[in-house]
Structure 1
Amino acid sequence: MRLQVSRFGLILFFVCLLMKAEGQTHKFELGDSAFLLDGKPFQLISGEMHYPRIPREAWRARMKMARAMGLNTIGTYVFWNVHEPEKGVFDFSGNNDIKAFVQMAQEEGLWVTLRPSPYVCAEWEFGGYPYWLQNEKGLVVRSKEPGYLHEYEQYIHELGRQLSPLLVEHGGNILMVQIENEYGSYGSDKEYLEINRKFFTEAGFDGLLYTCDPAPDINKGHLPGLLPAINGVDEPEIVRRKIRENHDGKGPFYIAEWYPAWFDWWGAPHHTVPAAGYAGRLDTVLGAGISINMYMFHGGTTRGFMNGSNYKGNTPFEPQTSSYDYDAPLDEAGNATPKFMAFRRAIEKHLPAGVRLPEVPKAKPSMGLPVVRLTEAGGLFQDLPGAVRADGPLTFEDLHQDYGFVLYRSRVAGGRRGVLRVGSVRDYALVYIDGKRVGMIDRRLGQDSLVVDLPAGEVRLDILVENMGRIDFGRYLLENKKGILGDVRFDGVELKGWEHFGLPMKSVGRGMGAADVPGDQPVLRRGHWRLSQVADTYLDMRRWGKGVVWVNGHNLGRYWSIGPQQTVYLPAEWLKKGDNEVVVLELIKTGQQELRGVDKPILDILQ
């Protein structure tokens, strides 16, 4: 029976690839041991990839690679903070056009499993929640608190207007939709889960719904009546037993997150997972007729300020890198890796006789860059916006600012030496006395103070705080405000009278000139170079310190010399023949004025 399930599923896979029948309705449902597509057993061979982590211009190429590896389905989270960045302001344009992403998958002969959740984790800022939820009085995420449920319902209905017409029952390619996300690792309130189900169905998601949880938490996180998918387990007997225990003794059997790879965070070694240890497991799962979604098939890049962080209270704060290469089968640039080829061979073993996978597309060309001189500069503190004044420090949320930086400024009587103690810095601070940097405070290292010498007279104290990414997992989701959360004291005396300058860095380039920036304050530097041909490249930031890079208006993400990520991926799709512009915000090594590109990523060097 298991062999028949696998064979029927793969036959249907190739039928759907040939058909690409947009507008043709299908029926997708649960059988006792397998999924049923139009009444016949269907095995999902799925891989996760996220539309905001891939340039829109490259979506189709990544989907073709999914088919070439043997996938018949792709899974994706849907990111609330991407689509409702401010309360009541929705964005489904450009790289946020999830509807176009799903429709493109249908054009490429791929089914989709949709994961709106709305909590996603995903190593993503605040686990996908928009920052402004924290400004709603009394709101508690992942709970039955009325304020949260109201905002959640508004969002999911907006999403339903975009995506419910694309369910398989309505002629689209969305096979099933996940509610919540690993909720059993967080809580066990079945009434809350039932509210989730109700919101989804009322929003138009009237097809097959499911939950997913790690094996130890599956009994807490599933909702009776829905399929309880399992995460992180690939032993067939354990998969079957855990799902049967929570699903009236039945299947189908679905591994919603299978981890043949892992992610990175700043200051820790690059994570790699050998393909040899996982190709055989994939072979075993497919041979047993179990459906699977590998997390990740293709990670891509967490651009802008959208990386999340891990923190469990008794462990260091761990902000994640911008590279989401993940050691996945498809690398950050979308090229096949040895792991891709090993998994393709495992899938090929289960193809019906005479069926062949598409040829693997050639690797994209990549190039180095000659030295780019950054000839224009502007000090970050030289062109400040209007100040917000308050007696004590305000948080990002108090200032209605989502991401980026806030400069805190106060005055203090000088002519003395003492301890400057900053209450709860979130997450990284540079401290300046009269414009001169005197130290830094890093939440990762548990720091909250430094000893400083104040010159005589009244002294200007500046503290530049960077939001390094809100926590994306666990109970500390509820303690996710950014900036300075406590008071600031010098020699035990609280400092009062603060000016706050919001620096969300949504646009850069103003106030730059040919003159250099004196001192060691953070600097924005701009350069130009010309190209006769475009190809992928990787900006080599090993000689730089810490900051953010923009090319042709695209925020490519953060860099930090501590590693392990030392390069910033620059996709060919965002380069131009002719003139190209790069802007770098450098916080530490402010005299750096040259930038190079290399033809391969450097993701494994700690400094």
Structure 2
Amino acid sequence: MQQRQSFRIADRFYLNDQPIQIISGAIHYFRVVPEYWRDRLEKLKALGCNAVETYVPWNLHEPREGRYQFTGMLDLRKFVRTAGELGLYVILRPSPYICAEWEFGGLPYWLLKHSGMKLRFSGNPFLDYADRYFARLFQEVNDLQITCGGPILLMQVENEYGAYSNDKAYLYAIAEMMRTHGVTVPLVTSDGPWHDYLDNGSIPDTALPTINCGSNIKEHFAKLRSLHGEAKPLMVMEFWIGWFDAWGDKEHHTRDAAGSAAELADILEEGSVNIYMFHGGTNFGFTSGANYYERLAPDTTSYDYDALLTESGDITPKYKAFQEVIARYAELPQVELSTVIRKRAYGEIAVKKQVSLFAVLDQLARPTESPYPLPMEDLDQPSGYIVYMTDLGKSRRIDDFRLIQCADRANVYLNRKHLFTKYDLEMEGKEAFDLTEPENELAILVENMGRVNYSVKMNNQHKGVKGGVIVNGAFHSGWKHYALPLDNLEQLDFSRGYAEGTPAFYLFELEVDEPADTFLDFTDWGKGAAFVNGFNLGRFWEIGPQRRLYVPAPLLRPGVNRIIMFETEGRTSGTIRFEASAL
């Protein structure tokens, strides 16, 4: 811990009454295994940065209402202290909303269970729940503010609020809430410099406005300067140097190093910067979010972002180009990297055991019965899948079958044989089929592909079946629900039945003499999620653009490692491969 320091905002940023130019890079601690935090921060310092920025995801720190988590990958305090030990300052963005291409923009799913809830507005229960969360969150970091001798330099009020609403009462309430719970460092807001976004999202008398953009810096700085109305420091809080990928994109998004480095030079000529992303990391588990404009666009597991460090932490040519620019404005420190990181191709391994989902449903979930289908939120389920089962009765023709308010993707089975798959806008399209047996069982496997993290659809993010299921023109009743967050796969009994072409679990055993970073290649596999020693690596999908899942060495152990592939389409290979690179 450093000695107490002063930090203030006037015509410039002043640290202990001396001007300071903030050169920061974004690293989200929750997208990186803790064993690699120091490595990524050391590489940030070597770049020439003097600060690191991170969001704080409410939905991870309060995954169940009133239950908090701040350990392991969620040890925010340790991450901030590690940055401080390396001489880096910290910009903290606790929001409560973060966007970040993250599940529900960082908001916890259980907010949707409460009546009268209107996300990110004043005058409703949202602020009460945010206040309770902040009361707990700031216990972790208050003494790590620069005013207390810690490395936290700035904190942000909300995030890109101007692209959501112009409810200034809400913004002032969040700022006051932060102060009430012990925040003493200066506050900022950040918004895109388009439309009314800056005007909507700024409270200049309380927080310094900053901008988020990736190009046309001089033009956007001029607009920000006009908003300030007086001499204030200019800052790009998110300087977008790449972009994120959605499943189904034609290719991985990239941005050339020379162009983005030139824009960086324009920023540093006039102000301060936070590079978004310095290191993107990984959307482990079911944490990736989605965007929705004309259609649903769920994000990939990789959050590589074409950042200065790759998803697995490698230094890129863009890093070198940025370092050359930063060297004109700051002295580059000598940094000795302390973490030994190796990559290895472990090769191909064959499946050991396999079992169909329908054979183990009773092991993974206790059924909930209801006259009508329930969405995930009513089942207190944050993410993953639900199987809805019902008896359709006697043999006859079904001329009108529809899924009403169903999200996001549904595989429909009759007597455990696949009928069809519905996705997003296709859901309410009419289907017809014949019931040929004396008794007929309908099963619907619905997947939550990630709650939308941005834009006007955030208040409508119930997953599963919310409206109902139409059978021959009327709502069908009598449902069993099997909630499948897939956090209990140690209970799987692989001796039960297996049927080709159905959703199933596949067990592999990877023998490792020395753990190293590796990449699980899912070529010839359809869609699903992969697990290593019980850790959910994230989603895979044959449509790309991502083709391999990053497996950090700390997730492996010497000896036998259990790999489970859950595949939903019946398109599998008898093998998987582990390669030494992402490509």
Residue matched to 1:337: 316
Q: CA 1:247–1:381 in 2, change beyond 3 Å: closer, same or farther?
A: same
Counterpart selection for 2:166 from 185, 188, 206: 188
**Runs of 4+, deviation exceeding 3 Å:** 233-240, 355-364, 444-451
Q: CA 1:509–1:380 in 2, change beyond 3 Å: closer, same or farther?
A: farther
- State the 1:509 CA deviation: 3.2
Residue matched to 1:199: 177
- State the 1:447 CA deviation: 6.3
Q: Aligned partners of 1:492 and 1:443: how far apart in 2?
A: 21
Residue matched to 2:254: 272
- State the 1:377 CA deviation: 2.1
Contact 1:239 1:253 in 2 (8 A): no
Contact 2:389 2:480 in 1 (8 A): yes
Q: CA 1:301–1:445 in 2, change beyond 3 Å: closer, same or farther?
A: farther
Counterpart selection for 2:305 from 326, 341, 346: 326
SS across alignment from 1:529: strand
Residue matched to 1:300: 281
Counterpart of 2:111 in structure 1: which amino acid?
L
Q: Aligned partners of 1:395 and 1:445: how far apart in 2?
A: 18
- For normalisation by structure 1, the TM-score amounts to 0.91
Residue matched to 2:369: 389
Mean alpha-carbon deviation: is it higher for 260-269 or for 591-600? 591-600
Contact 1:431 1:438 in 2 (8 A): yes
Residue matched to 1:584: 565
Q: Aligned partners of 2:486 and 2:337: how far apart in 1?
A: 40
Q: CA 1:372–1:448 in 2, change beyond 3 Å: closer, same or farther?
A: farther
Residue matched to 2:13: 35
Q: Equivalences for 1:343-422 in 2 at 5 Å?
A: 343-352=322-331, 356-358=333-335, 364-383=341-360, 384=362, 385-412=365-392, 413-416=394-397, 418-422=399-403
- State the 1:284 CA deviation: 2.5
Q: CA 1:189–1:484 in 2, change beyond 3 Å: closer, same or farther?
A: same
Residue matched to 2:240: 259
Q: CA RMSD of the aligned region, Å?
A: 1.8
Q: CA 1:401–1:152 in 2, change beyond 3 Å: closer, same or farther?
A: same
Counterpart selection for 1:290 from 271, 277, 286: 271
Q: Aligned partners of 1:233 and 1:387: how far apart in 2?
A: 49
Mean alpha-carbon deviation: is it higher for 592-601 or for 462-471? 592-601
Residue matched to 1:52: 30
- State the 1:146 CA deviation: 3.3
Mean alpha-carbon deviation: is it higher for 169-178 or for 510-519? 510-519
Mean alpha-carbon deviation: is it higher for 587-596 or for 571-580? 587-596
Q: Aligned partners of 2:541 and 2:175: how far apart in 1?
A: 42
Contact 1:25 1:169 in 2 (8 A): yes
Counterpart of 1:305 in structure 2: which amino acid?
F
Contact 1:523 1:590 in 2 (8 A): no
* Structure 1 residues 80-133: Cα deviation after superposition (integer angstroms, max 9, x where no partner): 000000111011011011111100110111111000011000001111000000
- State the 1:449 CA deviation: 4.3
Q: Aligned partners of 1:423 and 1:555: how far apart in 2?
A: 30
Q: CA 1:571–1:467 in 2, change beyond 3 Å: closer, same or farther?
A: same
- For normalisation by structure 2, the TM-score amounts to 0.95
Counterpart of 2:536 in structure 1: which amino acid?
N
Residue matched to 2:59: 81
Contact 2:92 2:156 in 1 (8 A): yes
Structure 2 unaligned regions, length at least 5: none
Pairs aligned (count): 575
Contact 1:215 1:233 in 2 (8 A): no
Counterpart of 1:77 in structure 2: which amino acid?
Y
* Structure 1 residues 285-335: Cα deviation after superposition (integer angstroms, max 9, x where no partner): 22x1410011111110001111111113xx011111111011111000011
Contact 1:377 1:512 in 2 (8 A): no
Q: Aligned partners of 2:44 and 2:441: how far apart in 1?
A: 56
* Structure 1 residues 188-239: Cα deviation after superposition (integer angstroms, max 9, x where no partner): 1222111111100001012101111111211111113121011115555434
Residue matched to 1:424: 405
Q: Aligned partners of 1:159 and 1:249: how far apart in 2?
A: 34
Q: Aligned partners of 2:266 and 2:191: how far apart in 1?
A: 21
Q: CA 1:375–1:137 in 2, change beyond 3 Å: closer, same or farther?
A: same
Q: Aligned partners of 2:330 and 2:157: how far apart in 1?
A: 32
Q: Aligned partners of 1:448 and 1:59: how far apart in 2?
A: 47
Percent identity, aligned pairs only, is 36
SS across alignment from 1:394: coil
Q: Aligned partners of 2:555 and 2:330: how far apart in 1?
A: 38
Counterpart selection for 1:533 from 514, 532, 536: 514
SS across alignment from 1:549: strand
- State the 1:444 CA deviation: 6.1
- State the 1:375 CA deviation: 1.1
Mean alpha-carbon deviation: is it higher for 113-122 or for 490-499? 490-499
Contact 1:509 1:583 in 2 (8 A): no
Counterpart of 2:23 in structure 1: which amino acid?
I
* Structure 1 residues 385-417: Cα deviation after superposition (integer angstroms, max 9, x where no partner): 222111111111111111111111111132435
Q: Aligned partners of 1:156 and 1:365: how far apart in 2?
A: 39
Q: Aligned partners of 1:98 and 1:273: how far apart in 2?
A: 30
- State the 1:488 CA deviation: 1.2
Counterpart of 2:226 in structure 1: which amino acid?
E
Residue matched to 1:8: none
Residue matched to 1:504: 485
1:542 paired with 2:523, answer yes
Counterpart selection for 1:176 from 149, 154, 165: 154
1:311 paired with 2:292, answer yes
- State the 1:491 CA deviation: 3.0
* Structure 1 residues 258-305: Cα deviation after superposition (integer angstroms, max 9, x where no partner): 11100000111221111121111212322x141001111111000111
Contact 2:308 2:319 in 1 (8 A): yes
Counterpart of 1:418 in structure 2: which amino acid?
D
SS across alignment from 2:125: helix
Q: CA 1:337–1:233 in 2, change beyond 3 Å: closer, same or farther?
A: closer
- State the 1:428 CA deviation: 0.7
Q: CA 1:362–1:151 in 2, change beyond 3 Å: closer, same or farther?
A: closer
1:601 paired with 2:582, answer yes
Contact 1:522 1:590 in 2 (8 A): no
Q: Aligned partners of 1:393 and 1:377: how far apart in 2?
A: 30
Contact 1:376 1:516 in 2 (8 A): no
